[in-house]
Amino acid sequence: MGTVKRTTARLVQRKVVVCGRIIMYDIDLTNAVAEIKRLKARIVALQVPEGMKKRAYQIAEDIENNASAEVMLVAEPCFGACDVPSSLFDMVDAVVHVGHSPIPSLRFTKPVIFVPARSRIPVTEQLKKAVGLLVEPVGVLATSQHLEELDDAIEGLESMGMKVKIGEGDSRISHVGEILGCNYTTATSIAEDVNSYLLIGSGTFHGLGVHLSTGKKVVVLDPNLEEPREIEQEKAKILRQRHAAIERAEKARSFGIIIGEKVGQRRLRRARELRKLIRWKRKDASLILMDKFDPEKLKTLGFDAYVSTACPRIAIDDVAMYDRPLLTPHELEIVLGVRRWDDYTFDQMTEEEF
Amino acid sequence: MGTVKRTTARLVQRKVVVCGRIIMYDIDLTNAVAEIKRLKARIVALQVPEGMKKRAYQIAEDIENNASAEVMLVAEPCFGACDVPSSLFDMVDAVVHVGHSPIPSLRFTKPVIFVPARSRIPVTEQLKKAVGLLVEPVGVLATSQHLEELDDAIEGLESMGMKVKIGEGDSRISHVGEILGCNYTTATSIAEDVNSYLLIGSGTFHGLGVHLSTGKKVVVLDPNLEEPREIEQEKAKILRQRHAAIERAEKARSFGIIIGEKVGQRRLRRARELRKLIRWKRKDASLILMDKFDPEKLKTLGFDAYVSTACPRIAIDDVAMYDRPLLTPHELEIVLGVRRWDDYTFDQMTEEEF
């Protein structure tokens, strides 16, 4: 037992290289090891985010040594808790999924053990700079990897005398204050009570999503950067790109409606509604199942334009890669004249669409 | 009923562009439509080979119009009957798989309807040229797409007075005379009765596989080309490449053993045996699950060398893409000193390895 404890303890921190920087993430396998033992799982698939892949074999070894299960590393990139490898369920007794919070409304036919990987970088200096940009009361939000820093930010803001609000999301969200790239309900739940948001996260996508769904000012605090940022400049650029895609799609005669194969992205119901809508407008529409998005696949299938009901980020983040218009469902509605451009928001996933 | 017949009849031939050439394939959906009706399937996934993707929406429409089922096109590339999209089974009532013969030993939890796509290009002229290269008795073989031409070739050779033999494969093979890139049992079953093989197919891989597993001369007749070919030149080149990969892997300290995620490639048992073997030789070995092979994924995982228990073609055909050695199981055995280079053969899949 002594050995087991020592080995498990060794796991608590792992250096991970993300975008060329070494970042410390807390990865505690204690619960996962206990759960594997409780389940008497003999074969386990291990899924880790891209930045941790080089260390995955060590995590696998730690599980094998401590839980006496055989571990298979999942090589495919993993983009979220929506991306649990359900296709492997008949090969394994359980899946260990590192790096994302569970999506409570997702049900699996095999046990999936979620292990958080959370960074804890001091945010005090940035918080001081952010205060001047924020308007009280402030809604505080974070993406999965930054939930530890969310707590620090709430404490920090309160200690500086700021009024702070924390929201709760719908059935896709497992933590207070947490948002996903496909779900801003945690933000909208407090939209009427706040005058701005502080979001602990990286990039522009989530911040812009919060802004478009609430209309409120958003300041993004990325613990790996030096300065908090507003998103005004990127907002204008992204909206220009979306407007251009919508305009190009207006000429399309045939639409491919893409349903994501990933287990938490299968908005079959929404896709079928969109198909009806397109046909009602007397244009051609086919349903397409796609796992990994790729401009070549769209070209090969040969439709004039595409609508993605899979992860909302794909159409926005990868816009430059696609020569055919790739729209979100809301954007298709604008193309077909059933939604106004003034009502533009980012696509969100809700239970009823599945 | 009149309408149904007409529409279905329209389907019997479809032009398909393969490698820039228009090729006629026979695709008869009559049985598939009847089977979908019999199953009362409401949602069907349609899987077609890459060369037919641009026409896939027409095949989908024909099924929708005739079988009153909703069809979803599978966008992911499909490489064989081993590559049926089992991950989608819980979204659909049935799968229509165009272009490959079934693998009888593969069992699915949802109905999979196999629709052959066979070319029928006259082979008489090439047969006449092939006769001079062949030594009687001749074993006649074909890949799935060329089973119609296999019949023509047998008739043709016999009418020219040649002695012909046809083999039967094991439980992965559904047609007499047929071979797969992972299974040459149809060839080996008659190896002692023939002095050469005529293979109707394209490329070098299958021909070399037959040659290495039987030691006999192989002439490849590709109906899309003008001349039958022997494979001596390519044989030397490929064996040089394999020898180089084996040599490089001899220096490796850590091995990633890849198990293919595709439903007909999951040689879990074989992978675990290889892991034991590597560890017995005091080197590190981890099990890896991979769907689409990609040099980037191997680099990201960071092992010194890899062994693939998935489709045997990947290591051979894509050798130039990989900077880490990617071996077949037989090749690993040579690296570890438990097989001799003189016993080199292509990797084959057997039931016991799954």
Asked if residue A66 lies in contact with residue A8, where contact means CB atoms within 8 angstroms, the answer is yes
- In angstroms, rounded to a whole number, what is the distance separating the alpha carbons of residues B206 and B223? 15
Cβ of A289 within 8 Å of Cβ of B261? The answer is no
Q: A303 in contact with B at a CB cutoff of 8 Å?
A: yes
- List, in order, residues 6 or more apart from A259 with CB less than 8 Å away: A266, A267, A268, A271, A287, A288, A289, A290, A309, A310, B72, B91
* Residue A326 CA, distance from chain mean position: 19
Kindly indicate the confidence band of residue A4, based on its pLDDT and cuts at 50, 70 and 90: very low
- pLDDT score of B16 more than 90: no
User: Could you say which architecture CATH assigns to the domain B12-119?
Assistant: 3-Layer(aba) Sandwich (3.40)
DSSP classification of residue B336: T
Q: How far is CA B3 from CA B44, B65, B66, in A?
A: 22, 10, 9
Interface test with B, best of A82, A265, A286 (most B CBs within 10 A): A286
Two structure tokens written together for B235: 């044989």
Burial class (CB in 10 A: 0-12, 13-18, 19+), B199: buried
Kindly indicate the confidence band of residue B22, based on its pLDDT and cuts at 50, 70 and 90: low
CA distance A353 to chain B (A): 14
Listed in order, the ranges of chain B carrying CATH 3.40.50.11860 are 236-353
- In angstroms, rounded to a whole number, what is the distance separating the alpha carbons of residues B325 and B312? 14
Provide the mean pLDDT of chain B. 93
Mean pLDDT of the region B155-159: 97
Q: What is the DSSP string of B263-274?
A: TT---HHHHHHH
Q: Which CATH superfamily is domain B124-233 in?
A: Diphthamide synthesis DPH1/DPH2 domain 2 (3.40.50.11850)
- In angstroms, rounded to a whole number, what is the distance separating the alpha carbons of residues B85 and B266? 13
Q: B185 in contact with A at a CB cutoff of 8 Å?
A: no
Mean pLDDT of the region B149-168: 97
Closest CA to A301 of A281, A284, A286, A321: A286
Q: B56 in contact with A at a CB cutoff of 8 Å?
A: yes
Two structure tokens written together for A152: 């620090």
Nearest CB among B56, B289, B302 relative to A45 is that of B289
Mean pLDDT of the region A148-176: 97
Q: What is the DSSP string of B165-182?
A: E-----TT--STTB-BTT
Q: How far is CA B247 from CA B8, B61, B283, B324, B334, in A?
A: 55, 52, 16, 12, 10
- pLDDT score of A14 more than 90: no
Provide the mean pLDDT of chain A. 92
Of residues A4 and B122, more confidently modeled: B122
Closest CA to B53 of A16, A282, A286, A330: A286
Cβ of B287 within 8 Å of Cβ of A71? The answer is yes
Mean pLDDT of the region A186-196: 98
- pLDDT score of B18 more than 70: no
User: Which pLDDT value is given to residue B118?
Assistant: 86
- pLDDT score of B197 more than 70: yes
Tens digits of per-residue pLDDT, A254-309?
Answer: 999 999 999 999 999 999 999 999 999 999 999 999 999 999 999 999 999 999 99
Q: How far is CA A344 from CA A26, A215, A308, in A?
A: 38, 11, 16
Nearest CB among A90, A268, A292 relative to B91 is that of A268
Mean pLDDT of the region A133-149: 96
Q: What is the DSSP string of B6-54?
A: HHHHHTSEEEEEETTEEEEEE---HHHHHHHHHHT-SEEEEE--GGGGG
Task: Report the sign of the C-alpha dihedral through residues A194, A196, A202, A205, in that order.
Answer: positive
User: Which pLDDT value is given to residue B232?
Assistant: 87
Nearest CB among B53, B292, B300 relative to A53 is that of B300
Q: How far is CA B107 from CA A220, B111, B181, in A?
A: 51, 9, 20
**CATH fold of B236-353, please?**
Rossmann fold (3.40.50)
Residue B218, strand partner residues: B197
Which A-chain residues 69-98 have CB contacts (< 8 A) with chain B? Answer: 70-76, 85-88, 90-91
- Report the range of poorest mean pLDDT among A15-24, A253-262, B118-127: A15-24
ipTM of the complex in this document = 0.91
- In angstroms, rounded to a whole number, what is the distance separating the alpha carbons of residues A162 and B133? 88
Closest CA to B183 of B313, B49, B54, B83: B313
Listed in order, the ranges of chain B carrying CATH 3.40.50.11840 are 12-119
Q: What is the DSSP string of B60-86?
A: HHHHHHHH--EEEEE-S---SGGG--G
Listed in order, the ranges of chain A carrying CATH 3.40.50.11850 are 124-233
Residue B124: what residue type? T
Mean pLDDT of the region A58-84: 96
Task: Report the phi/psi class of residue B90: left, alpha or beta, with left for phi > 0 and alpha for psi in -120 to 50.
Answer: alpha
- pLDDT score of B19 more than 60: no
- In angstroms, rounded to a whole number, what is the distance separating the alpha carbons of residues A153 and A130? 11
CA distance A46 to chain B (A): 9
Q: B234 in contact with A at a CB cutoff of 8 Å?
A: no
User: Which pLDDT value is given to residue A24?
Assistant: 65
Rounded (10°) angle between helices A232-249 and A205-214 = 80
Mean pLDDT of the region B202-224: 96
Cβ of A54 within 8 Å of Cβ of B287? The answer is no
DSSP classification of residue A293: -
- In angstroms, rounded to a whole number, what is the distance separating the alpha carbons of residues B114 and B27? 11
Asked if residue A82 lies in contact with residue A112, where contact means CB atoms within 8 angstroms, the answer is no
User: Which pLDDT value is given to residue A22?
Assistant: 54
- Report the range of poorest mean pLDDT among A143-152, B12-21, B183-192, B327-336: B12-21
Kindly indicate the confidence band of residue B36, based on its pLDDT and cuts at 50, 70 and 90: very high
Q: How far is CA A237 from CA A216, A234, A317, A348, B337, in A?
A: 18, 5, 12, 21, 60
